[in-house]
Chains A and B, each alone.
Chain A
Amino acid sequence: MSDKVSLPAPREAAPDGARGEPLLVAEGLTKHFPITGGFPVKRRIGAVQAVDGLDLTVRAGESFGLVGESGCGKSTTGRLLTRLLEPTAGRIVYRGRDITHAGRRELAPFRAEIQMIFQDPYASLNPRHTVGKIVSGPMEINGIDPPGGREARVRELLETVGLSPEHYNRFPHEFSGGQRQRIGVARALALEPKLIVADEPVSALDVSIQAQVVNLLRDVQRELGIAFVFIAHDLAVVRHFSQRVAVMYLGKIVEVGDRDDIYRRPRHPYTHALLSAVPEAADLMDTPAGGDGSARASRERIRLAGDVPSPIRPPSGCRFRTRCWKAREECATEEPPLLRAEGSGPGHLSACHFPEPPTVERTTEVILDPALRAAEGHTESQPPNHAQ
């Protein structure tokens, strides 16, 4: 248990210096789900490369965002970090201890410190237990008796998450989706964790309720100083919540950096494409009624072709190359390492052979989708050159 490992020096120096020690470090984290098949005897014939060689560091008290589209491995990453899944390769170091292959008993103290919040507020609460039992469950399992007793602590937690202490004896079905997610938050907070991994915590909720829960999580994160890994597909929500953000694509981190690095000075073409695809209601604000759509011109317009390739047979070299308008031969043969690109700030890493200039305030238009190109009258057979 005392095998202290030497931590890699944090490659990302915090510019503001306000951040804490590395809390959780993942190195080369990999999860492959085997696929069986074959004839006449079934055997392993391949693997879904859900997560493939991930390096990331979560510092104490920081909120770390993990964004990406479905199938990019962000949820698997969350489950690996909390050791709900056993990694295929790589290691996880929590507070200086290697917990990659720690057994149940060794993990027990860390289980209390690392909690999870799930997407579905309906499925993640036992319908037969009262709110009090659900929230006090972690304390019971870990044999923790807070001063004043468990019930008092639960009532206090319910208040913290914006529920009434009187809800103690109610059942989950008596609550709305947003309230249920609050119960989930209260349960996660019961053991005063140091790290919470929240997997799409608001995506099942209506817009107006979503904002309530985002605000709650932000308050909890800031006031209690809990480090968060916030996993979501909604780029705006992640931006609002996270100080640092990693963008994932097909099991790999393609870009990681401070919030503004990712959202204002992105270098990876995929990050550009993602940001340009977010539809924004605010684009129309301030424009005079009856205007000619000038709002759109201030943002890039990048339309990728097709969907994300299968993680069973990811493309060689750079995994994004099949949808990238800058792809060249090199991209197919050589996998770009996650590095600080020239012109990027400290701690801003991207994995691209041909990084984009660091701005999104351009009028780039890249249309790769064949149907859209035909419809919009593009006739050339090659995608238009990217305006530099």
Chain B
Amino acid sequence: MLRFLVRRSLGAIVIILLISAITFFLFFALPSEPALMSCGKNCTPDALAVINKNLGLDQPVPVQYWHYMQGIFMGRDFTVGHCPAPCFGYSFSNQQPVWGTIVDRFPTTLSITLGGAAVFLVVGVGIGMIAAAFRGTWIDKFFSSLSLVGGALQIYFVGVIALAVLVSGLHWMDNPAYHPITEDPVKWFTGMLIPWLVLSIIFIANYSRMTRSQMVEQLGEDHVRTARAKGLGRRTVFFRYAWRGALAPIVTIFGIDLGSLFGGAIITEFTFSLHGLGRLAVSSVSETDLPTLMAVMLVGCTAIVVANIVVDAAYAVIDPRVRLA
């Protein structure tokens, strides 16, 4: 297991480095004058040269990349002062250190995605198991038709309706907002509730359907029959044997969904007017704020790669046949 983690982490570092190199060259090498974007409206050639020098843009691109990576790991000295590690440079639009903005925004995205994922995983798998336990009955059919509806919905649709009904219409809840969990857990929870619910409605369908079919398949497996033949109770057989077997494929899909949740953070955050990484990415694109965009990309990629490693490790814990070395 340790070998696996080390190997995968090394692989992940290589992947992230590759991505960073590709994005860096795309962003900084292709548009002719990045400094122009930072220079403002009344730009003079002299001012441009100063900016170029300040940002190190007068050097060849590979050297710039080297300095950029150095900045992330060791900090970097600009003419305006020292930028401590991890340094992603200064924003073109507000001249603040990019890392500060990331630290400010990342928890929001993380709260939405991980919290939402936790809710839809638990509820979806739970519903799937209930449907499997009562397969063929009206309970099963009820959940099946629900998941059919849920699977057809989109976040901006459900999100807007949820806001209209729960917030504007019934006044049951406030508009979604992010409060750091460290400061006020209750506020954090209530602020995130609507996004979580909306995300769940959309994903639960998929998970309940998948869990149900996996459970039904597992319940027909030989080893489940053996467990019954040993005299184990229905509940033990259901949870200890069938559920364990159904878990592995669900975890795999969950890993993929986590990735797409990060990717879909833009839509979620816009729908609920939350200020996370997704929104930051959009604004940095519209303002051509390359350092910020670059940093968002790297953080996002790292999150997805880490999520994948965690899922693979979880897979090995669930299924001892998966040998990780």
Contacts and interface: CB of A to CB of B under 8 A. Distances in A.
B7 A40 contact: yes
Nearest to B323: A37
Interface in A81-96: none
B325 A39 contact: yes
Contacts of B7: 39-40
Interface residues of A, number: 3
B6 interface: yes
B325 to A, nearest CB: 6
B7 to A, nearest CB: 6
- Chain B interface residue number, banded: under 10
Nearest to B4: A39
B10 interface: yes
B3 interface: yes
A42 to B, nearest CB: 9
A39 B2 CA distance: 11
Interface string A336-350: 000000000000000
Interface string B107-132: 00000000000000000000000000
B189 to A, nearest CB: 43
- Mostly, the A contact residues are loop
A37 B3 CA distance: 11
A185 B148 CA distance: 47
Nearest to B6: A40
Contacts of B3: 39
B6 to A, nearest CB: 7
A39 B10 CA distance: 12
Nearest to B11: A40
A37 B10 contact: no
A40 B6 CA distance: 8
Contacts of A40: 6-7, 10
Interface in B1-21: 3, 6-7, 10
Contacts of B325: 37, 39
B185 to A, nearest CB: 41
Contacts of A39: 3, 7, 325
A383 to B, nearest CB: 34
A35 to B, nearest CB: 12
Interface string B275-287: 0000000000000
B232 to A, nearest CB: 27
Nearest to A41: B7
A37 B325 CA distance: 7
A39 B7 CA distance: 8
Nearest to A37: B325
Contacts of B10: 40
Contacts of B6: 40
Contacts of A37: 325
Nearest to A40: B7
A48 to B, nearest CB: 16
Interface in B281-325: 325
A39 B6 CA distance: 10
Interface in A22-54: 37, 39-40
A182 B146 CA distance: 48
A266 B325 CA distance: 45
A40 B325 CA distance: 9
Nearest to A39: B3
A324 B281 CA distance: 71
Nearest to B10: A40
A39 B3 CA distance: 8
A37 B323 CA distance: 11
A41 to B, nearest CB: 9
A143 to B, nearest CB: 45
A282 B6 CA distance: 61
Interface string A108-133: 00000000000000000000000000
Interface string B128-147: 00000000000000000000
Interface in A187-217: none
A40 B3 CA distance: 8
A245 to B, nearest CB: 35
A40 B2 CA distance: 12
A52 B5 CA distance: 37
A39 B325 CA distance: 8
A388 B258 CA distance: 71
Interface string B1-44: 00100110010000000000000000000000000000000000
A36 to B, nearest CB: 10
A40 B9 CA distance: 11
A39 B11 CA distance: 13
Interface string B177-199: 00000000000000000000000
B5 to A, nearest CB: 12
B4 to A, nearest CB: 10
A39 B5 CA distance: 12
A215 to B, nearest CB: 34
A348 B36 CA distance: 89
A179 B10 CA distance: 55
B235 to A, nearest CB: 35
Interface string A139-175: 0000000000000000000000000000000000000
Interface in B140-160: none
B13 to A, nearest CB: 12
Interface string A283-315: 000000000000000000000000000000000
A40 B7 CA distance: 6
B321 to A, nearest CB: 16
A44 to B, nearest CB: 14
A37 B6 CA distance: 14
A273 B324 CA distance: 39
A189 B95 CA distance: 79
B207 to A, nearest CB: 32
A291 to B, nearest CB: 36
B316 to A, nearest CB: 15
B215 to A, nearest CB: 27
A125 B75 CA distance: 64
A297 B196 CA distance: 76
7 contacts: A37-B325, A39-B3, A39-B7, A39-B325, A40-B6, A40-B7, A40-B10
Interface of A: 37, 39-40
5 tightest A-B contacts by CB? A39-B3, A40-B7, A37-B325, A40-B10, A39-B7
